[in-house]
Amino acid sequence: MTRTHWYWLLQILGWSAVVVFVAFANSRYLYQHGAIAICVLCGICGLVLSDLAHRLYKARRWHVQPAAWRIIAFTIVVLGPLQTAGTMATNYLIIGKNGDLNWLHMLLTFWTGIMLAWAICYLAYLYLRRANRFEAEALRLEVLAKDAELRALQAQVNPHFFFNSLNSVRALIYENQDSAAQMIDQLATLMRYTLQSSYADTVPLSEELEAVQSYLAIEKIRFEERLRLALDIAGGMETVRIPPMALQTLVENAVKYGVEQSATGTEIRISASHANGKATIEVSNQGALRTFSNSTSVGLSNARKRLILSKGDSASLDLVERDGWVRATLHFPLAA
């Protein structure tokens, strides 16, 4: 139903209720000729007057920014007396007479009260609609702000990643030009992925893993047997969506502070599992926690922020050392 449909439905129901109330209040007179017709015509008169008032408020734009005092004043000064006059005219036309001044005073008080009740309901609806509109606008602005923040964080991550990769190419180019050429090919593959994923808030874990494996292929040329990889991806996790480059950032840190710092190298383990509606992705390497450089801190901080923005406040990125292994773990709800 449209807003217009709801308006007329509530108008008809409301004034029908007024007709029933008036008939009940004057039940001892209903046996008289035309009494029921008077009750019905009073309701129709009220419906017409209130609709004309509604159209007037729209024409003067009182409904855009509800002017309560104008609407209340108009109801007391105009609508109440007009409805009273309409009732008296109906009464006179059907039964040929009206009551005394006391009856007129009572009638004016009653119909002004009914019109005030209508005006209060009308104002309540206007304020509720306005509040809903403001809430919708606030949600829209929140979504836009969230999207802008994600884009800004993504823009910070990509240069950080490529700076590390280019350093690796530079280190190798003096040692083995063929390996350096292979590394550049892998880097081109990674650049294509990051450019494509930069337009999305999240990507499937399978795509992120392909990018990670390309990155590790680059580092494998550099570190050879010092870099070893173990994957343990539970069924169904391939389609789980994560912020682009989030896993990549953790793997970079594992290489920089695990493989690079060890003379014999280390194994990098990447695992992904889910239980009780939550996903867990972990990157671990042998070694100890060290004071990170500024660039590494930015990468981890951005990965944590993007994870929370994409998956909600219940998501987390933890970095701990346990049993000789440094473990970076992503936790987030699957439904997010």
Domain ranges in the chain?
A: 3-137, 175-333
Q: Which two tokens stand for residue 225?
A: 């047997």
Q: Assign residue 11 a region: left if phi > 0, alpha if psi is -120 to 50, beta otherwise?
A: alpha
Joined together, the tokens standing for residue 121 give 């309901």
- Count CA within 13 A, CB hemisphere, residue 150: 24
Say if residue 143's pLDDT is above 70. Answer: no
Mean per-residue pLDDT, 225-229: 89
Name the most confidently modeled range: 1-5, 124-128, 239-243.
239-243
- Range with the poorest average pLDDT among 68-77, 115-124, 144-153, 214-223: 144-153
The position carrying tokens 């350096």 is 180
- pTM flag (> 0.75): no
| pLDDT greater than 70 at residue 151 | no
Contact present, 118 and 50 (Cβ < 8 Å): yes
Question: For residue 104, what pLDDT is reported?
Answer: 83
Higher pLDDT, 153 or 203: 203
Q: In the chain, where do the E strands start and end?
A: 203-204, 227-233, 241-242, 266-275, 278-286, 316-322, 325-333
Q: How far apart, in Å, are the Cα atoms of 258 and each of 46, 123, 165? A: 81, 66, 16
| 175-333 under CATH 3.30.565.10, yes or no | yes
pLDDT (mean) for 69-96: 86
For residues 86-91, average pLDDT: 86
- What integer best gives the mean pLDDT of the chain? 82
- pLDDT of the residue at 16: 92
Candidate ranges 148-157, 194-203, 213-222; pick with highest mean pLDDT: 213-222
